Amino acid sequence: MRRTSLLLLALILSSTLLTACWDRVEVNDLAYVLATGFDKEEDGTYRVSVQVPLPSSLGGAGSSGGGGGTGEDGPYFVDSGSGRNIRESNDDLQARMSRKLYFAHRRVVIVGEKMAKEGMGEILNTILIQPQSRLSSFIIMSKGEALEVLNLKNRLEQLPGEAIREMAKTSLEMRAHEVLQDIKRPGKEGVIPVIEKSDKQVKGESGQEIKMQSFAILLGDKVNFITNEKESPAVLWLHNRMRGKSITFPYSEEGEITLRIIQDKVTKDFRMVNGKPAFTVKIKATSTLMENEPYISLDDPKIYKKVIKKMEEEITNQVEELLNHAHAEGSDIAGFGWYLYRNHNPTWDEKWKDDWSAHLKDLEVKVEIEGEIQRMTNTGMKVKE
Amino acid sequence: MAEPVNWQSGKNGGEILTEKISSFQLSILVANFLFTGVIISLPQVLAESSNQVSWLSPLVVLGVISGFLWLVVGKTKQLQRLSKTFLLGKPTKLERVFLVCFGILFITAAIRDLRALIDFVATVLLPTTPIDVMSILAGFIVIYMAAAGLEVIARVTVIQFITLAAVIIALPFMLMNGMELGNFQPIMDVDLLPGLAKSSFLLLSWAGEAIFILILIQNLDDVAGAKKATVRGIVVAMCLFALVVAVEVAVLGVDIVSVSSYPSLQMIQQINLTDFLDRLDLVIVTIWIPCFIAKIALDVYLVNRCLTSGKKQPNNIIIIPLGIALAHLSVLLFRNNTEHIEFSFYTWAVWGLALELLIGIIFIIRRKIS
Amino acid sequence: MKLRRNKQSEKKSNLHTDKTESQVHSSLDENIDILKELFEDCSDVIYRTFKVGSHQACIIFIDGLIDANSIQFHVLDALEEASRESLSIEIVKDKIVSIGSVKETEKLDAIVKDILSGNTGLLIDGLNEALIVDAKGGSRRSVAEPETETVIRGPREGFTESLRVNTALVRHKIRSNRLKMIAKTVGEETQTNIAILYVDGLARPELVKEVMARIEKIEIDAVLESGYIEELIEDNSWSLFPQIQNTERPDTLAANLLEGRVGVIVDGTPFALILPTTFWQFLQASEDYYHRFHISVFLRVIRVIFIFLALELPAIYIAVTTYHQEMLPTNLLFSVASSREAIPFPAFIEALIMEVAFEALREAGIRLPKVIGQAVSILGALVIGQAAVEAGIVSAPMVIIVSLTGIASFTIPRFNMAISIRLLRFPIMILAGVFGLYGIVLGSTFILTHLCKLRSFGVPYFSPLGPLNLRELRDVFIRAPWWALDKRPSQTVKDDVRRQKENVRPTKKQRSGLEGGNA
């Protein structure tokens, strides 16, 4: 018994060791894809661009660097390949690489504008099917081609992919599985952040940087429209992401007031009015005073009330504008339909399921803001009278 | 809690006593046996048929199977009497039929489980390694564990399962940020009842595997507590499974769960406790694999018990060829993992359940006769 | 005589020939002739003949094994003074020789045996009995601090090479008539004395019987160290894990005896055996029980973590860097990748080279004289740690991993367990190199199963974790305060379970008595 089992062990070990190591890949035989860009060409083919860091120039003990090979400038390079579908484009790319593309560390997926408008379903499906890629990668749309955005440098981070990720984290992080879920949910449309080129604003330097400010509102898996400057904060309001952000609004002719939001909470109230659904969006915003241009004294209850009112007006405007725009375009970004689906399922199936977009257009939505300034350290001093 | 001490002195011989396991160990064995098997890809089919209420089906099954086993095991006194005669000595005709059914059930279970393990490892850990090699390696460890006997399997299982259960219970906390409770709504819908019934039926035969305790009654330290211990095990397993399914649906949504072949893996990939602890999925997988191996080892041990029942030779004489044959069959019998998944979803639901019912009925008859 | 011996040795070992079985003759010369023949070419045997009155007498002893002073004072001088009296063996024994332990014998082979074990034989012409005087002496190392188990707090005395000193050290700790010490002799040639220690009523009688039976089965020519006995009586001799603990510390042995275990002290070595053992005992230092429990809890947790690291860390490094790169956080992966950029070896080979080099370095450090040993470690640290990294032969993370593994294996308090872990590291590394995490998991499961399967003298080796006993885990992963450790381990002690009175935790009441007095 013991001898046979020992023999068996020896046999297994030797056989495995001799043939061995099917999946072994050294760390330095892999090209780690940090960010991918997906574009659709004019002729309908796909273009996949990847951003790969160059470990030898990332710096680390023992890496002598040896000069050269540092891409154009930064410790990374961008390359792209094309093909009839995404995987084929990857293979095209791979054919020109000495290292194996490795997608498990991809944190950011950038979808080009054209592709986003034609539908992102295939991209999301590739992420879902391929075991290496993760459903937790961020989905971001780029204005223009994704490849161009990937090529832009960021001066704070060594790797632009990392920079994009950090920027998404501070605005709206939309992971692949969240986008997928939103697409599948009845009566709810997804939102993804938009990244765009912006000119550098330093004297004597020309060139472009990345900027993330607006959001793309989806309809199904297609981008429906992109928010403008005024609507963008409203997206964050609706997604409960305003914490830490500031709002600035005019108080009087004398100047503006800036408040930083420290807590925000969105609730939706539903009621039926004349057989039609009507919603109230209630947003509770708690803030601190950051800048006080008109030098008002908030100790005065009257002034305080006025400030709060101004603040509430500002937010209401933003949110209403976004909702009106989105509903006109047929995108239910606040998920009113989903609310009905979840809580009034039989009625939903009966009445609204099939033409919710049509209902949206004349959906009555009221926005109620409950503002509060919780803290002000100093109201500020008037320097000159 | 502790098992009795065996005073067997090494090589110096002395009679080897019957292996005994405590009620606690039996509970854990049952829980591990049920839980580690269903967790791999069964949530997929549950979500497919019963959508957002799929977490209910483990609880339904829990009730049905506990009742069934309560019925099969019967009165304590009868069982105590039975434990002194059942499957000891030359098997009677009825016992032979019992053994045949039992053997077939657990041979298929062992093959299915082994293949499930290998397919999972091949998908997640080693995509290009030939599966025969992996099955040999897994087979070797399973043989070693099965040959070590019931006591050892029980001890190993207890250690591993408690670790696994702790991790599972921690999952909702680790995934707190990603959970969307709206995914469970609408909470109840009449349309969902047939779906729930279907998913419960698919799960039934898996939970019914707890019937393996029947062959172990002579190894129980406390025969009187066997019934309770088994039910306790089923409760633990099914509650944990319900928790896993619920978290999966909450995090991923019904649609993703019902299309991914390893939804539990997808779920643990979403764990993100700060950027640094972002990749805990494989750590959790490495905790689950040993538990599953312990399950397969118990499978093989049960088959071995079946085949050698009533024989006078040392019990382990056939375990090596048996283990190798099972490992080999697991590779041969299924062409690809879809076929295997189809088998474990649909064929097993009928096949397993039929055999389990048969075994239960035979046992009841045998019990009545004594 | 089952031992195989070639003819020459059979000729020489004439200890058991007919002659010795003979009686002591009344003629002194005849006796001396026989003894001289037996001790042929034994230059250390001294025959000192002298006259007692009219009788010729002779003392025979082995130089260096006896206490020359007491022989001079109690035997030679005493006999000279008493030379007038008529001599019979009783008179010599009872009146003249004033030494603690004296016995008479008629057998020559008994005399030979006693002389060999350090006693002195006294033969007097005309008497057909001999006197054996116990005046053992000679130089042996004195009690000193044990070098392998040093403590910050705790007794500083360690066992020596002398059996009697060692048993006395234990008796100093346990002054109870329940502490039994059974004497035995093993080794055909060495005739090594051993003592089997146990506390009556705590150690299970079956266990003591089993230990005796296994020791009685030993038939070997020599027992030079307790390691001989360890290998001859352990349950599974193929297992890499030590199933018997050894210690140099009397306090450790005493503590174990009081938990119902059996100790074996072997003459000639300071290492006593403790059995049965569980895996966890090897992770415990005697000091754990002497410091206050907070730090002991912390240290034990650290040890459990580090024994895991010592076993798995290089393997995990290999698996993660060559199979599962997704497991590393992105930034960490990039720094590993950038430092591995110039390395010519695959990670597995690199790890193997470094681990073997480290083991060699350690071995060299132990064998060399202490002064040079330090030089070797400095050299090794410089060569491997610094130069190899700078030359781009070994990556910096690998050096970190190997040194961390090395440190981890030093945290295991018992050297013999550290050895098993060090050895097991290599198969796990190979498995990791071939199958990645899957290999590691299977390898670890194998080890876990093996640990759960092992028994040491009937006690499951992995208890109280496998089989699980939650109550007793308080003395495994942590060390509960003494007032909570009120029961002895159930695997070894069955009857007299309670170690202390119930509810012995110091309470507020006790304290307030004192404080009230002050007020």
pLDDT digits over A284-330, tens only? 988 888 888 777 777 788 888 888 888 888 888 888 888 888 888 88
- Nearest in space to C62 (alpha carbons), one of C11, C137, C129, C9: C137
Please list every residue in chain C whose beta carbon sits closer than 8 Å to the beta carbon of residue A64.
342, 392
Give the count of Cβ contacts less than 8 A between chain A and C: 92
Output the pLDDT for position B6: 45
Whether residue A69 has pLDDT greater than 70: no
Nearest to C494 by CA among C466, C459, C446, C465: C459
Identify the pLDDT of residue B112.
Answer: 93
Identity of the residue in A17, A25, A58 whose CB atom sits nearest the CB atom of C322: A25
Min Cα distance B14 → chain C (Å) is 11
Higher pLDDT, C53 or B293: B293
Calculate what percentage of chain B has a pLDDT beyond 90.
47
| Class of residue A89 by CB neighbours under 10 A (exposed 0-12, middle 13-18, buried 19+) | buried
Contact of C433 with C316, CB cutoff 8 Å: no
Report whether pLDDT(A22) > 90. Answer: no
Mean pLDDT of C262-283: 93
Mean per-residue pLDDT for C191-197?
A: 92
Type of residue at A153: K
Distance from CA of A56 to the nearest CA of C (A): 5
With tokens 């003298």, the residue in question is C457
Structure tokens at A71: 């891409």
Mean pLDDT calculated for residue range A244-257: 84
Q: What is the 3-state secondary structure (H, E, C) of B185-221?
A: CCCCCCCHHHHHHHHHHHHHHHHHHHHHHHHHHHHEC
Chain B: residue whose CA lies nearest to C234: B10
Rounded (10°) CA dihedral A105, A106, A107, A109 = -170
As to burial, measured by CB atoms within 10 angstroms (0-12 exposed, 13-18 middle, 19+ buried), residue B233 is buried
Cis peptide before C467 (omega within 30 of 0): yes
Predicted pLDDT of residue C221: 92
Tokens 């005669």 -> residue: B85
What's the burial of A246, exposed, middle or buried (CB within 10 Å: 0-12/13-18/19+)?
middle
pLDDT exceeds 50 at position A111: yes
Q: Which residues of A touch B128 (CB under 8 A)?
A: 22-23
Chain A residues with CB under 8 Å of a chain C CB are: 2, 13, 16-17, 20-21, 23-28, 30, 32, 34, 53, 55-56, 58-64, 102, 104-105, 107, 132, 162
Task: Let me know: does A138 contact A109? Beta carbons within 8 Å.
Answer: yes
Q: How far apart are CA A382 and CA A96, in angstroms?
A: 65
Contact C197, C180 (CB under 8 A): yes
A131 to B124: CB separation less than 8 angstroms, yes or no? yes
Tell me, what's the pLDDT at A14? Answer: 67
**Which pTM value belongs to this model?**
0.89
Output the average pLDDT for chain A.
82
Residue C260 Ramachandran class (φ > 0 left, ψ -120 to 50 alpha, else beta): left
Residue C463: other Cβ atoms inside 10 A: 27
Mean pLDDT, range A59-77, rounded to an integer: 52
- Supply the pLDDT for residue C218: 92
What is the tens place of the pLDDT at every residue in B46-90? 998 888 888 899 999 999 999 999 998 888 888 888 888 787 777
Q: Is C190:C266 a contact under the CB 8 Å cutoff?
A: no
User: What SS3 state is found at B314?
Assistant: coil
Q: What percent of chain B has pLDDT over 70?
A: 94
The closest alpha carbon to C138, from C62, C77, C193, belongs to C62
- pLDDT at residue A65 greater than cutoff 90: no
Helix axes B281-308, B131-148, angle to 10 degrees: 60
Residue of chain B whose alpha carbon sits nearest to that of C444: B290
Top mean pLDDT of A370-379, B40-49, C9-18, C132-141 is at B40-49
Cα dist from A133 to A116, C131, C383, whole Å: 20, 91, 41
Residue B219 scores a pLDDT above 70 = yes
Residue A55's closest chain C neighbor by CA?
Answer: C338
User: Are the CB atoms for A160 and A150 separated by under 8 Å?
Assistant: yes
Predicted local distance difference test score (pLDDT) of residue C181: 93
Q: For residue B277, which residues of chain A lie inside 8 Å, CB to CB?
A: none
Cα separation, A198 vs A212, whole angstroms: 9
CATH numbers and ranges of domains, chain B: 23-369 (1.20.1740.10)
What φ, ψ does residue A271 adopt, rounded to 5°?
A: -150, 160
Residues 171-210 of C with CB under 8 A from B: 206, 210
Does residue C491 sit at the B interface (CB-CB below 8 Å)?
A: yes
Question: Using the 8-state DSSP alphabet, how is residue C245 labeled?
Answer: E
Decide if B255 contacts B179 (C-beta within 8 A). Answer: no
- Tokens at C279, concatenated: 């895996």
ipTM summary value: 0.92
Report the candidate in C460, C242, C232 with the shortest Cα–Cα distance to residue B148. C460
Q: Say what the pLDDT of residue B35 is.
A: 94
Does A16 sit within 8 Å of C325, measured CB to CB? Answer: no
Query: Which residues are C132's β-sheet partners?
Result: C103, C121
pLDDT at A44: 84
Distance from CA of B37 to the nearest CA of C (A): 18
HSE value, Cβ hemisphere, 13 Å, CA-based, for B272: 13
Distance CA A63, CA C340 (A): 7
C118 touches chain B (CB under 8 A): no
CA C74 to chain centre: 37
Q: Which domains are present in chain A? A: 28-58+71-226 (no CATH), 231-385 (3.30.300.210)
> What is the pairing mode between strands A222-226 and A191-199?
unpaired
Option in A8, A134, A180 nearest B269 (CB): A134
- Backbone φ and ψ of A296, nearest 5°: -90, 155
Residue C341: C-alpha distances to residues A29, A31, A305, A376, B135 (Å): 9, 12, 63, 53, 35
CB contact under 8 A, A23 and B128: yes
In whole angstroms, give the CA distance from residue C90 to residue C82.
13
pLDDT value at C510 more than 70: no
> Are the Cβ atoms of B129 and A22 closer than 8 angstroms?
yes
Sheet holding C262-266, edge to edge: C179-186, C192-199, C262-266, C272-275, C245-247
Q: How far apart are CA B142 and CA B146, in angstroms?
A: 6
C449, pLDDT greater than 60: yes
Q: How many C-beta atoms lie closer than 10 Å to residue A267's C-beta?
A: 10
Q: What pLDDT, on the 0 to 100 scale, is given for residue A336?
A: 86
Give B319-355 pLDDT, tens digit per residue. Answer: 889 999 999 999 999 888 888 888 989 999 999 999 9
Cβ distance of B126 and A22 shorter than 8 Å: yes
C-contacting chains (≥3 CB pairs under 8 Å): A, B
pLDDT at B133: 85
Q: Tell me, what DSSP letter sits at residue C260? A: T
Nearest CA in chain C to B153: C449
Q: Is the pLDDT of residue C84 over 90?
A: no
Whether pLDDT at B13 is above 50: no
The CA distance from B257 to the nearest CA of chain C, in Å, is: 22
Any residues with CB less than 8 A from the CB of A162 and at least 6 apart, and which?
A: A34, A107, C330
3-state helix, strand, coil in chain B (%, to 5): 75, 0, 20
Closest chain A residue to C330 measured between Cα atoms?
A105
Q: Where are the beta strands (DSSP E) in A148-245?
A: 191-199, 208-219, 222-226
Query: What are the backbone dihedrals phi and psi of residue A91, each rounded to the nearest 5 degrees, phi first?
Result: -65, -40
Residues 6 or more apart whose CB falls under 8 angstroms from that of C152 comprise: C287
Three-class DSSP category at A380: coil
Interchain CB contact of A202 with B (< 8 Å): no
Question: Please, which pLDDT band fits residue B314 given cuts at 50, 70 and 90?
Answer: low
Chain B residues in contact with C445 by the CB 8 A cut-off are 141, 145, 156, 289-290, 293-294
pLDDT (tens digit per residue) in C89-103: 777 777 777 777 888
Closest CA to B99 of B111, B89, B115, B87: B87
Q: What is the mean pLDDT of chain C?
A: 85
CA gap C397, C404 in Å, rounded: 10
Predicted confidence band at C272 (pLDDT cuts at 50, 70, 90)? very high
Q: How many CB atoms lie within 10 A of CB A114?
A: 16
Give pLDDT tens digits for B79-118. Answer: 888 888 787 777 888 888 999 999 999 999 999 999 999 9
Q: How many helices (H) and strands (E) does chain C have?
A: 20, 12
How far from each other are the two terminal CA atoms of chain A, in whole angstroms?
101
Q: Does residue C259 have a pLDDT over 50?
A: yes
C466 neighbors C452 (Cβ within 8 angstroms):
yes
Residue B212 backbone dihedrals phi, psi, to 5 degrees: -60, -20
Length of chain C: 519
Contact at CB, C392 and A62, closer than 8 angstroms: yes
